[in-house]
Amino acid sequence: MRTELQLIQSAIADFNFAEAKTEIHPEYKYFKLFEIYLPDRFRGLPTQWKFAILLQQGEENYPLVSKQEIVQEGNRLKSKMTSQSEFPLVIISDDVRVNVEKELVDANDNVFFLDKFRLPGKISDGVPVRNTPIILAVKSKFEKNGKGNYALSLSPYTPNIPVEGWRFFGRHRELEQIMSSKSNCFILGARKTGKSSILAEAKRKLSSSGFIVHDIGVQYAISFGEVVNAMVAKLSVRDAYYAQRDSELLETNFVLNVIKRLRGEDKKRTVLIFDELGNVMRRDSRNIWNFMGILRDLSQKGEIRVLASAFQEIYIRTYKDSDSPLVNFGTMIEINLFSRSEVEEILIKPLSVWYEIEDQNELLSQIRKKFGFHPLILQWIGEYTFKRIFHSKDKKVANHINRLLNEDIKFFKNAFQEIYEKNHSLLEKYLFLKFCKDARDERRELSTIEIKQISLNTELKRFKIESSLDERNYFLYRLSLKGLFYQDESNGLIFKIATPILYYYYESSNDIAEALFDMESEIPQLFKNINISYQNEGSGVN
C-alpha cells in the first residue's frame, strides 16, 4: 500500500518531493489533508495547493467501511474546502472501490480528482509537466467543462491588474535591487509596464521578511494633503487622535507624528509605498519639497524607507532640473520592455505547462516581430490563449497566437488605448504610424525599422519644426520610455518599433493614408518645436 507522500509524488511525477505539510482535521475519518508548494517546474500555476488523500482501506476493513460513508465525507470535505480556502484542491483516492472523479459532486470550481488508475506505481524520470497526473486531471476538467470561466482562476494572466506571488513574472533584477538595498527606490516607467506589480511583489516579500509595510493609496490623490490623509487612514482611530493631539499640544509636525504612529512601538524599519506618487508631484508642485523633505530626513536616519513609482516625466524633470526634490532621494529604477528571457518566463513556460510548444525559438521570434515585448501586450496574448485553448480542438499554442494577427486582432483594443491613445502626443502618434506605413509599403517587417536622427529630422522639417541634435536625441530617448519605440542595445542612436501589433490593430480598421493626412493638417497648428510637454499618467493601475 502506498503512503500519502508517495501518492503526492506520483501526482506531480517527482519522487524527490518531500515537503508535504499535514493538516489536522479530526472531523475527517477517511481523508487526510496536506498542504504543498509545487516545485519550480510548475511555474505558471499557483504555488500552494491542498491535497485530500484517501488511502486503500485494508481487506479486513472492507465489511466495516461503508463506501457511501466515504463518499459523503468526501463531499463534505470538498464543500468545506472550497468555501474556506482559496487554494486549488486535489482529491486522491487509492481505494479501488471509491472513484472520486465519478462519485463525488463535481462543480465549476478548482477541485480536481485523481483515482488509483490515474497514478502510476513507478515514476519515470523526465516526465514533461504537461503529462504529469495532476496537470492531466486539471486539463481534463477544463476541456470537459468547455468555456467555464472558473478556469481563469488558474490563469497566470491578468491584464490591467497589478500582480504578485505566482502571477509575477520577470523584473527579477529590479526586484532584487529593491530587496537588497536599504535606500529609497523610485520605479520609473510608462503606462502598463509593471510598476504597480513590482511594488506589490516587493510589499509581499518585505512583509514576509518582517518589515512593517504600509501601502499608501495615492493613485487618485491630487495634493500632498490628500496623501497625508491616506497615511492617516492607515492608523487606528486612537493613533490618528494622538497624532493630531501631539501636533497641537507639542507644536510638532503632523506628518512626522503620523509616520511615528505608523512605525508602531517595536520600531522595526518601516517601509512606505506610494504608487503613482509622480502624479501628485506634478499636480501639487508647491508642496513637493515640504513632503519629500520629511521623507528624505527620516530615511537618512534609517527610520523609514520609501518605495514609490512615477511616470517617466518625473525622471525627465530630474534629469533636467538639478533642484528637483528627487535628486539624491534614492535609487531610480527604470523599467521598459521585457527581455527575451522574461518573455519565455511569462508566455512560453506557463503555456508549456498545458500543451507542447513545438518550436519555442520560432514562437519567440514571431512574438518579437509581430507583437513586441511590451508587458501589457504579452499579458493579453497569454490571456487570449489561455481562455481559448482548453475548449478548442486546436491545441497548438502557436496557432492561437497567430489568430491574434488576423481574425481576432480586435482583442488588442484595450492595449491600443492604454499604450497608444493615452500615452502619446499627436506628433508622436504620427511618427509611429508614418514610419510603420513606410516599412509596410516597402514590404519590410516593422521590427526591422531603424529610426535615426536623420530620419526624424526629415519628418520634423516637413512641418517646419526646427530642432537641435540634442533635442532630437532627447525626443527619441523619451519616446523609447513610452511603449511605441525602444532604444537599440548595440547602438544607442538607433531606435526601433517596440509594439508592431498596435500598428496592425490600427491598420485593421483605419485607412492609414487618410489618418496621416488628417494628422498632417493638424500638427502645424499644435507643434512649433519638440520640447517636452508633461503628461498626466492617469489613475489606472499599471
Please report the pLDDT score of residue 93 as a whole number: 94
Q: What are phi and psi of 538, to 5 degrees?
A: 90, 175
Please report the pLDDT score of residue 252 as a whole number: 82
Neighbours of 406 (CB within 10 A): 9
C-alpha–C-alpha distance, residues 134 and 385, integer Å: 21
Please report the pLDDT score of residue 539 as a whole number: 42
C-alpha–C-alpha distance, residues 495 and 477, integer Å: 8
Q: What are phi and psi of 287, to 5 degrees?
A: -105, 10
Query: Looking at the DSSP assignment, which residues form a beta bridge with residue 496?
Result: 486
Neighbours of 470 (CB within 10 A): 8
Residue 310 in grid coordinates: 512615477
Please report the pLDDT score of residue 537 as a whole number: 47
Tens digit of each residue's pLDDT (9 = 90 or more) over 484-521: 999 888 888 899 999 999 999 999 999 999 999 999 99
C-alpha–C-alpha distance, residues 424 and 47, integer Å: 38
- Locus of grid cell 509636525: 253
Residue 445 in grid coordinates: 517587417
**Amino acid identity at 168:** F
Neighbours of 207 (CB within 10 A): 13
- Locus of grid cell 487526510: 32
Please enumerate, as own/partner, the contacts of 118-127 that have beta carbons within 8 Å and a separation of 24 or more: 119/7, 119/10, 119/11, 119/92, 119/94, 120/10, 121/2, 121/10, 123/9, 123/10, 123/13, 123/14, 123/15, 124/13, 127/13
Please report the pLDDT score of residue 434 as a whole number: 96
Alpha helices in 411-483 (DSSP H): 413-416, 426-441, 453-462, 469-480
In sequence order, which residues have a C-beta less than 8 Å from that of residue 386 and are 6 or more positions away? 151, 152, 155, 156, 157, 351
Query: Looking at the DSSP assignment, which residues form a beta bridge with residue 37?
Result: 48
Helix (H) or strand (E) holding 32: strand 31-37
C-alpha–C-alpha distance, residues 374 and 193, integer Å: 7
Bridge-based pairing state of the strands 270-274 and 31-37: unpaired
C-alpha–C-alpha distance, residues 199 and 308, integer Å: 8
**Amino acid identity at 41:** R
Q: Evaluate whether 130 touches 390 at the Cβ level (below 8 Å).
A: no
- Locus of grid cell 504529469: 132
Taking each helix axis from N to C end, the angle separating 469-480 and 453-462, rounded to the nearest 10 degrees, works out to 100
Return the sign of the alpha-carbon dihedral for residues 257, 261, 262, 267. positive
Counting every residue written for the chain, the total comes to 542
Q: Give ∠ CA 222-226-231 in degrees, rounded to 5.
A: 135
- Please give the order of strands across the beta sheet that includes 48-54: 20-23, 31-37, 48-54, 89-93, 111-115
Q: Evaluate whether 142 touches 108 at the Cβ level (below 8 Å).
A: no
Bridge-based pairing state of the strands 31-37 and 48-54: antiparallel
pTM value is 0.91
From first to last of its 542 residues, what are the pLDDT tens digits of the chain?
789 999 999 999 998 999 899 998 989 999 999 999 999 999 999 999 999 999 876 655 555 678 888 999 999 999 998 888 889 999 999 988 899 999 998 777 789 999 999 998 787 778 899 999 999 999 988 888 755 565 677 899 999 899 999 999 999 999 999 999 999 999 988 888 999 999 999 999 999 999 999 999 898 899 999 999 999 999 999 999 999 998 888 778 999 999 999 998 776 789 999 999 988 888 888 888 889 989 999 998 999 999 999 886 666 665 556 677 777 788 989 898 999 999 999 999 999 999 999 899 999 999 999 999 999 999 999 999 998 888 889 999 999 999 999 999 999 999 999 999 988 899 999 999 999 999 999 999 999 999 998 999 999 999 999 888 888 888 888 888 788 999 888 888 899 999 999 999 999 999 999 999 999 999 999 888 776 554 444 444 34
Which runs of E-coded beta strand occur in 45-150? 48-54, 89-93, 111-115
**Amino acid identity at 385:** T
Please report the pLDDT score of residue 542 as a whole number: 45
Pick the closest to residue 326 from 335, 312, 311, 315 (CA basis): 315
Query: Looking at the DSSP assignment, which residues form a beta bridge with residue 52?
Result: 33, 91
Please report the pLDDT score of residue 489 as a whole number: 85
